[in-house]
Amino acid sequence: MDLNRPALPLQDKATTRKALAATAIAAALLLSACGGGAAPQGAEQAAAADPSSGANASGAVNICGVKDASGIYKGTAEAFTKANGKVTAKYTEIGATTDEARTQIVQRLEGKSTECDLFVTDVIWTSEFASQGWLLDQTKLVEANKDRLIPSTVETTKYQDKYWASPFFTNAGLIYYQKDKVAKPETWQQLYAEAAKAPGNGYVYQGKQYEGLTVNFLEMLYSAGGEVLNEQGDVTIDSKETRDVLNFMSDGLKNDSADRAVLTYNEDPARLAYESGDFGYQRNWPHVYRLLNATPLASSFAVAPLPAWEGGKASGVLGGWNLAISAHSTNQAGAVAFIDFATTPDWQKHVAMDYSQAPVNEAAYSDPAVLQKMPFATELLGSVKGAKPRPISPVYPQISQAIYKNVYAVLSGTASTEEAVQKMAEEITTAKASF
């Protein structure tokens, strides 16, 4: 954003402490209505979850999160209650969309509400929530369960060398292609070249100005070897790789590899456009498989993992949902027991079979029963294992805006690659300073 915001020197400057304290008290009084406390409490002071506590747990556990469209949350809560015998779990829907759920969760956490023991969190929320000291440190729990979890999914729960949640189910992009018209995509370059060959071969993806564009862009950037932030958290997006990918994407729109209409597509319009049969390739999430199977394209489409960048490797961006224990939970042991259950290899099979979600346990993908329900499990595992998390930062929403707004500007032709890359880097740096 251009709305420059200098870093807040709150915790560092003793000289301003007194004035600050007065303001903080005033703010706290005003905020008390919505429960905002003023006591500084960060990730450093967070308490840890005890992995062995789950065995002796009892009482009730309340899991809160987004509307349960696939039934997985309520289903898991019921199955857990039945299997455990001592702990009863229930799922509470607190938002119809991902954004609403985040707002609701933030409100509860800021207000130190004890209503929810566990939150189902989008992978991109981890660092924001952890940095506030809102979550229980799950490092020991994750370490104990590590052998049954796919490493890339565990990475999405990491912030400052600790784990703040346990992966529940994951998600990764796939390429759907018309095998009667186009070849299986091996590289992005091959996909784009093939897509430009004939009018009915085009590629559809999510190019609207929103979070989905960040994902589509990063999938290519990661496979090209680029990154947004390095290990130390420095902004490294101003690179040759970023320029290459941006030029590649905008050339794709000019030479008709991709229809200009993608600039208005999020997930559903992209799927609907593809269902018309006028396209060769589509990038979308696994849930589209079932929907495509119910169309006339059922016999002609196939699934592939995301392709590699020419001369690089295949990569992707991880989606999915984690289980985070609220720092204000009154039944932490019950929450641990629930996580233990949800991540067992056996339940992870049900995650795939009963709810068509991508398991976080690798063995589940090769289970015959799973393969029968989810024939593309092998391709999905390929995408999941190669995928990386989105930039890990408490100000991720701002970073993502800096990415998708500037990528969009290049794609729609209102900015040059060079301008966009510089602006992107600048805005991400500013965003990081706001933390």
CB of 112 to another protein, least distance (A): 10
CB of 260 to another protein, least distance (A): 5
CB of 194 to another protein, least distance (A): 20
**Which distant-in-sequence residues (6+ apart) come within 8 Å of 101 by Cβ?**
65, 66, 67, 94, 95, 120
Indicate the residue among 315 and 430 with the shorter CB distance to another protein: 430
Indicate the residue among 2 and 234 with the shorter CB distance to another protein: 2
**What whole-number distance in Å separates Cα of residue 246 and Cα of residue 244?**
6
Indicate the residue among 187 and 434 with the shorter CB distance to another protein: 434
CB of 333 to another protein, least distance (A): 26
Name the token pair of 260: 């200009």
Q: Which residues pair with 324 in a beta bridge?
A: 119
Query: Beta-strand (E) ranges in 188-273?
Result: 203-204
Indicate the residue among 123 and 370 with the shorter CB distance to another protein: 123
CB of 56 to another protein, least distance (A): 33
Q: Answer whether 278's CB lies under 8 Å from 202's CB.
A: yes
Q: Where are the alpha helices (DSSP H) in 45-138?
A: 72-84, 98-110, 126-131
**What whole-number distance in Å separates Cα of residue 127 and Cα of residue 144?**
21
Indicate the residue among 195 and 387 with the shorter CB distance to another protein: 195
Amino acid at the residue 84: N
Binding site residues, another protein, CB under 8 A:
1-5, 8, 10-11, 16, 19-20, 23-24, 27-28, 30-31, 36-42, 99, 103, 106, 109-110, 131-133, 208-210, 259-261, 263-264, 269, 272-273, 276, 278, 394-395, 397-398, 401, 408, 412, 414, 434-435
Amino acid at the residue 25: I
Q: Which sign, positive or negative, has the C-alpha torsion 143, 145, 147, 148?
A: negative
Indicate the residue among 67 and 260 with the shorter CB distance to another protein: 260
* Half-sphere exposure (Cβ direction) of 378: Cα atoms closer than 13 Å: 6
CB of 136 to another protein, least distance (A): 17
